[in-house]
Structure 1
Amino acid sequence: MFSWAERSQEVFPPELPSKPPAGFFGFVWHYARPFRRMIALTALTAALVGIVEVWLFSFIGDLVDWLAAADRETFMETHWPELAGMGFVILVVYPAVMLLSEVMSNQGLLGNFAMRTRWQAHRYLLRQSVGFFQNDFAGRVATKMMQTSLGVRDSVLKTCEILLYVGIYFISAVVLFAMSDWRLALPLVAWLAGYVAILYFLVPRMAQLAADQAEARSMVTGRVVDSYTNIQTVKMFAHAEQEDTYAREGMETFLGTVYRSMRLATVLLFLMTMLNAGLFFAVGGLAIWLWQGGIVTLGAVAFTTGLVLRIHGMAHWILWEVSGLFENIGVVQDGIGTIARDREVVDRPGAAPLVVTEGRVAFRDIRFNYGKARGESDRVIEHLNLEVRPGEKIGIVGRSGAGKSTLVSLLLRFYDLEAGRIEIDGQDIAGVTQESLRGAIGMVTQDTSLLHRSVAENIRYGRRDATMAEIVAAAKRAEAHDFILELEDMNGRRGYDAHVGERGVKLSGGQRQRIAIARVLLKDAPILVLDEATSALDSEVEAAIQQNLYRLMEGKTVIAIAHRLSTIAAMDRLIVMDGGRIVEEGGHEDLIARDGLYADLWSRQSGGFLLGEAAE
């Protein structure tokens, strides 16, 4: 039974998820739809449990009447069929229905529903554009994804439980009260009206408070994770107290939402206590009065007062369930703004994989400004035309902010162009799949980021089917093998099995760079992009790696960005950018002879850095 419920739904479907609707009900149904049959069965069993429980109270009333009127000697003989039937219900039917309800809820829904929602939301978010993640805290996005998945699940389950279990329970109670005497049902109906009024006027406020809390909680998590992720910078500048203040400001905001929520909870609890006390007093007094008049039996008094006590206890549970429901609604509404967002960069319908036959790259009158409305004279990239021939190796230089790295980001289609087109072997990169485009380009950046996994897994990121021998060979070519063998993490894993820490913080800049180079060497893509690929290396290691990079460049189209001009002076062609435009191009000697911007940069270079206007 456990296995049947746990396997009733595919938790990790292989199909890529679509964008969820931005409306609350559409968003919830988007993730709940695969579980609709299990949800219906769970709701049905919850309703059956409610009916059985109310019926048990009614039977107790009948039992009191039988005992009051029966002869002790003939009682069992007279009532054994009813007692046997009730025994069967108590010992067999009720436990079986409860077991089925719990199995479908706990095994079928609680784990699977939330996990599938996380899986789908994570896969959708993971394919958002680079700009999406640059504009938000990674920790905040992750928190919203985790919170929202639980909120969706609990919103659905609590709704079914409250509407069916509680609805059936109260309807059954009203009917049974009225069967004893219609006047006994009046206090319960009045109580129900007051209960609904309290929920209607006060509980929805908790939804807004819950949304505020969810936002504040995500913000606190984002701030704390931001400090932890950049712990080296925090230590370097001795700003622990500043980070304390930064975190405290967020926590104080969060605490303020908690205070407001708890104030409302206290008011709700007090009102419910008064309402429940009124119900018990009214039903108890009315039942005794009716009994004195001979209108109801002693069993009816016992049944109604007992059920009222049960309702008294349930009322607080229902209150918190309803409050929890509205809190989850607030959490989901808060998460919708992050999860149900259109992707800025998407594959076109029917996009085909990129086919690289030669490696020709062409930028045709492209324009880009990160979506900002600015004049033509101050765009990041403006009317840029550039063609890189198959197998040609070009170097791109220019002052900081000239648009060099943006040009590479556009080639990788991290952003969509505002005008123009970029072609690889005549194919517009906007019309091919992003996976195939980036699979055809190998890139080593200045700011190398490694995954918090083993060294081998980080290198294998270049080619997932690589063997261990190929990984080691790539590491040796990148002059990384020797230091990798000496690595050991806090769990005792050594060498290629050692984990490198978040973003590779356990390694030096040069070590991270060499692993990144090994990853690209293993990928062996036809187009190679080097963005300050050796900037973190010392001269001896750089000289050794340069030989391997030159071998890697053979037969490939290469675009290299460097501030240290000596590293690209031997390229086939140098492209000089300024203000988002190409202002010079040619060989090193030709550009020096022109005595233009390149010559100025070359003359001002000292220790591998560009001075002059960039320094200003």
Structure 2
Amino acid sequence: MIFQRIAELFERWIDPLADHTPERPPEKLVPFLWYFLRQAKWPFFAMLIVGGGVAIMESAAFWFMGVLIDILDGTPREAGWSGLMAEYGWVLIGMAFAMVVVRVGLTTLQMLIEEQTIVPGFNNLVRWQSYRYVARQSLDFFQNDFAGRIVTKVTAAGQSIGDLMSSLLQVVWFMAIYAISTMALVAALDWRLAALIALWIAIFAVLARFFVPRIRENARELAEANSMMSGRMVDSFSNILTLKLFGSDEGNDGYMRGGFERLIARVKAFTRLITGVRASLSLLSGVMITAIAALSVHLWFSSDISSGDVAFTLGLSLRLSMLLGRLMMQLNGIMRAIGTIQNSAELIAQPIGLVDKPDAVPLVLRNPAIRFDNVSFGYDGGKGVIRDFSLDVRAGEKVGIVGRSGAGKSTLVNLLLRFYDVDGGRILIDGQNIADVTQESLRAGIGMVTQDTGLLHRPIRDNIRFGNEDAGDDMLWEAVERAEADSFIADLADLRGRKGLDAYVGERGVKLSGGQRQRIAISRVMLKDAPILVLDEATSALDSEVEAAIQANLMKLMEGKTVLAIAHRLSTIAALDRLIVMDKGRIVEEGTHEALIEKGGLYASLWARQSGGFLPELDDGE
């Protein structure tokens, strides 16, 4: 109980989830480290002081050993314990107190700071703040990288910075204090012994100067290969159905093999360096220990030092040899950590591609009209997908957007939601330029059902409640019933026995059918009840019977809202107030269904050519 209370005291020293405004950390290594370390400077300062004390006690232990040997050498055996304590009692008690109380106390304090403060507190502080910043990146950021690779770099950053600081303070700092203490104690015996130890450390520094930069560069490349391997593996497992349906084991193995071959090549290059380091250190230690032993014996013969001094010097030297070897191996870990941190920093510290303006204000929706004013846009500065596009949608108007695949319909919706900024022109909602309002308030005012519905591996209740986190179960069930989802949710159960709204849906909702996922998405939008509604193939995954049942509820949901509805199945939007026909990023026709059919243009052609409600594709992608 007492230990638990002490441990809890250290665990509260750093609050990893403390309020912190997500901001971009520096990209350079040292500023990136300091950005996080300054938030936990006092625990690390305590590690510095305590670690130095532990190193001094380590050196003192060998000095105590030499003193004890000299005491025993000068005490007759027949004197026994009583004679020994009468002559040297306070000296022996002082040494015992230092070893049992001071040394153990410092070591325990060091472990408490590292294990109870740094590991749970600081490591997760880095991960949490990195996650919060990266999660605010633009949609384009996530579409251009492996999700697994991003996750690996975000999670590895916290662990690597914690490991790096622990290594620096517990090994490098410990080694520095120990080496200084050793030279000071040995110099008190004979300057020649101290000179040999100084030479030993100088040669070690030269070796480190040669190997460390090479280890660092190889460690960075190894970290990149590791994250890429993780990314490929997560990508394969996340799309396992596609691989099983269309791929072959041999083909997928070949893709993964390429990643493994790259990783193995980096590991081999890295381990060659490590082998060279170990061999060099072994040779150096062997030569220096032999030289120190020979000099110590020479000084003993000349009565310059005692037997205890010889034992003390050789003990310190053997311990120094072990610590220098440990230090160089720890440099291996340190360089790995630095390589991982650099690799993570390159991703984590990227500027957010799409941000709110400094003076951005929340969107105020009183009259949710939408206006596209001469909008142009192309992905990554390429060929324009949207060209000089202008459209006014009155508040409460329901507009269908029609066009073959590649016409720019989904891009138009992405621009409305400000997943991308327009290249030219502007988009207004209720007279407010969406570039001047906060993204969160903009998207809070828009409810959307997409063609590809992604659900999180969480309870169905949580997936629906994203639409309104304050909604109670009564409101939630009302939305579920209106979306015709109650019929299957009540019967759902997962492998852990959770049922109904508490059942987990699997990664991206894989345990549900496409139609079930879509009905949950529609439930979520119904619960959100935003004044602007966007439907992007909202019923495309539903069978005809379920679609007919939901269509009536969607029409109720549309009442009083401004609606943009994209559909390939023209029958689903034919009854809307107005239809916009797009082709190659422009409006080529607009009007009611009847007027467009009568006009005999592109819409009439598409309507006539439909078979099963779908439209042919363009060569140009959206």
Into which bin does the TM-score normalised by the smaller protein fall?
over 0.9
* Counterpart code for 1:335: S
1:613, 1:529 → 2: CA distance? 23
1:478, 1:152 → 2: CA distance? 48
Partner residue, 1:266: 275
- The answer on 1:540 being equivalent to 2:545 is yes
2:245, 2:395 → 1: CA distance? 45
Partner residue, 1:211: 220
- The answer on 1:137 being equivalent to 2:142 is no
Partner residue, 1:52: 57
- The answer on 1:338 being equivalent to 2:347 is yes
Q: How far 1:76 moved relative to its partner?
A: 2.1
Matches within 5 A, 1:84-483: 84-374=93-383, 379-483=384-488
Gaps of 5+ in 1: none
* Counterpart code for 2:362: P
2:406/2:618 contact within 8 Å kept: no
TM-superposition CA deviations, 1:183-219 (whole Å, max 9, x none): 0112211110111111111122121111111111111
* Counterpart code for 1:128: Q
- SS of the residue corresponding to residue 188 of structure 2 reads helix
CA separation of 1:42/1:243 partners in 2, compared to 1, >3 Å: closer, same or farther?
Answer: same
Moved over 4 A (4+): 612-616
TM-superposition CA deviations, 1:229-249 (whole Å, max 9, x none): 111111211423222111111
Q: How far 1:159 moved relative to its partner?
A: 2.1
- SS of the residue corresponding to residue 18 of structure 1 reads coil
* Counterpart code for 1:591: L
TM-superposition CA deviations, 1:511-534 (whole Å, max 9, x none): 111110011011100000000000
Q: Give TM-score scaled by structure 1 length.
A: 0.97
1:32/1:156 contact within 8 Å kept: no
- The answer on 1:507 being equivalent to 2:512 is yes
Q: How far 1:444 moved relative to its partner?
A: 0.3
1:15, 1:432 → 2: CA distance? 22
2:68/2:308 contact within 8 Å kept: yes
* Counterpart code for 2:414: S
TM-superposition CA deviations, 1:420-441 (whole Å, max 9, x none): 1111111111111111111110
Partner residue, 1:604: 609
Q: How far 1:173 moved relative to its partner?
A: 0.3
- SS of the residue corresponding to residue 371 of structure 1 reads helix
* Counterpart code for 2:15: E
Partner residue, 2:86: 77
* Counterpart code for 1:202: F
1:191, 1:614 → 2: CA distance? 71
- SS of the residue corresponding to residue 380 of structure 2 reads coil
CA separation of 1:195/1:157 partners in 2, compared to 1, >3 Å: closer, same or farther?
Answer: same
1:57/1:306 contact within 8 Å kept: yes
Q: 505, 520, 524: which is aligned to 2:525?
A: 520
- The answer on 1:552 being equivalent to 2:557 is yes
**Percent of paired sites with the same residue:** 48
1:278, 1:509 → 2: CA distance? 72
Q: How far 1:116 moved relative to its partner?
A: 0.6
1:278, 1:358 → 2: CA distance? 86
1:497, 1:191 → 2: CA distance? 66
1:399/1:614 contact within 8 Å kept: no
* Counterpart code for 1:356: L
RMSD: 1.4
Q: How far 1:38 moved relative to its partner?
A: 0.6
1:319, 1:163 → 2: CA distance? 9
Partner residue, 2:3: none
- SS of the residue corresponding to residue 496 of structure 2 reads coil
1:577/1:584 contact within 8 Å kept: yes
2:386/2:584 contact within 8 Å kept: yes
1:359/1:527 contact within 8 Å kept: yes
TM-superposition CA deviations, 1:578-613 (whole Å, max 9, x none): 111111111112112222211121111111111375
Q: How far 1:71 moved relative to its partner?
A: 3.5
CA separation of 1:81/1:416 partners in 2, compared to 1, >3 Å: closer, same or farther?
Answer: same
2:405/2:617 contact within 8 Å kept: no
1:129/1:343 contact within 8 Å kept: yes
Gaps of 5+ in 2: 1-5
2:248, 2:212 → 1: CA distance? 43
Range that drifts further, 407-416 or 242-251: 242-251
2:85, 2:161 → 1: CA distance? 52
1:454/1:496 contact within 8 Å kept: yes
Q: Give TM-score scaled by structure 2 length.
A: 0.96
1:545, 1:350 → 2: CA distance? 42
Q: 16, 24, 32: which is aligned to 1:27?
A: 32
* Counterpart code for 1:40: F
2:402/2:579 contact within 8 Å kept: yes
1:398/1:576 contact within 8 Å kept: yes
* Counterpart code for 2:279: F
* Counterpart code for 1:486: D
Q: How far 1:614 moved relative to its partner?
A: 6.3
* Counterpart code for 2:159: L
Q: How far 1:615 moved relative to its partner?
A: 11
2:229/2:263 contact within 8 Å kept: yes
Q: How far 1:117 moved relative to its partner?
A: 0.4
1:441/1:527 contact within 8 Å kept: yes
